[in-house]
Amino acid sequence: MKAMILTSFGGPQSFELREVPKPVPQAGQVLVRVHATSINPLDFQVRRGDYADLVQLPTITGHDVSGVVEEVGPGVTSFVPGDEVWYTPQIFDGPGSYAEYHVASESIVGKKPASLSHLEAATLTLVGGTAWEALVVRAGLRVGESILVHGGAGGVGHVAIQLAKAIGARVFTTVREENFEFARSMGADVLIDYTTEDYVEAVLRETGGRGVDVVFDTIGGDTLTRSPDALAQLGRVVSIVDIAKPQNLVQAWGKNASYHFVFTRQNRGKLDELSALIERGQLRPHVGAVYSLADLALAHARLESPNNGLKGKIAIAIEPSLLP
């Protein structure tokens, strides 16, 4: 099978397209022909060596799969060959999804929502599971509450907006003015151009000084330090980014704030919950660009670029017929 191999840590050109043996499913595993995958910030972080202690080179990376079951191992009861499936491979535990085939434990695999294409499904598994873990499991967002989603036009952000609206929350988000229409179409109620307006001032103005119940941090920087200024009493901050430097959280103490740091866990349950929202028309991933597996380096370079013009996610078409 063809696979994109990460041969060294570094820039986008660290990948090499090779022929490697097709994996064989063991007990409790399914062999999936990968039709599409996607790119996340986690993918370029792994590539450049941010998690070098957890990654043994050479390796196949990638953290999204949408495809079709080709073979099942002994003891598999949930799937049969021909089933369309989606999932996130176990992170830092075995080969990833930048390949024509992938094997996974049936416990982390879900039935792909029929209304999604493989390209759409492949852009949602990791970011959808992350948003669910952050907003539902950790923050416990409830009907009638308010949330500030940082980076609402991004991969996780545009899903988080939709999820928060499905829960019944009032959604604030920070995006560039050029992305206002997109964020509004996802369900955002209050749009803040972070390049021209201070988001803390905007939140306090729109909430009469109360602040929001939840802040969802997808961008990092000084967000953890400043979030309490925009937070209501007993509010919650959820972050999915690395903590690059010590943060001053004294203001959080005064708000009795809770902080949650999320590194998403793989399981079928979250995928099934997301599927229910998709089938009810409350959630839809946005594919901002499509690249081939051979052009993976170009896709990585684009995602890493600060002003990449992207909305939503980049999909990688492993199956050539899915290319535009």
What are the backbone angles phi and psi of residue 165, rounded to the nearest 5°? -65, -40
What was the pLDDT predicted at 243? Answer: 72
pLDDT for residue 250: 76
* Amino acid at site 180: F
What's the pLDDT score for residue 263?
Answer: 87
Q: Are 315 and 36 in contact (CB under 8 A)?
A: yes
Please, how many CA atoms are within 13 Å of residue 304, restricted to the half-sphere of its CB?
Answer: 16
Cα(76)–Cα(85) distance, rounded to whole angstroms? 14
Cα gap 261→134, rounded to integer Å: 8
Q: pTM of this prediction?
A: 0.94
Q: Which amino acid is at 110?
A: G
Residue 222: what pLDDT?
Answer: 84
Q: In whole angstroms, how far apart are CA 231 and each of 129, 141, 165, 195, 203?
A: 25, 14, 19, 21, 9
Which domains can be identified in the chain, with CATH numbers? Answer: 2-124+285-322 (3.90.180.10), 127-261 (3.40.50.720)
User: What are the per-10-residue average pLDDT scores of the chain (324 residues)?
Assistant: 97 96 97 98 94 96 98 97 97 96 97 98 97 96 98 96 98 97 97 96 97 95 88 95 70 86 88 96 96 97 88 96 93
What pLDDT, on a 0 to 100 scale, did the predictor assign at position 244?
63
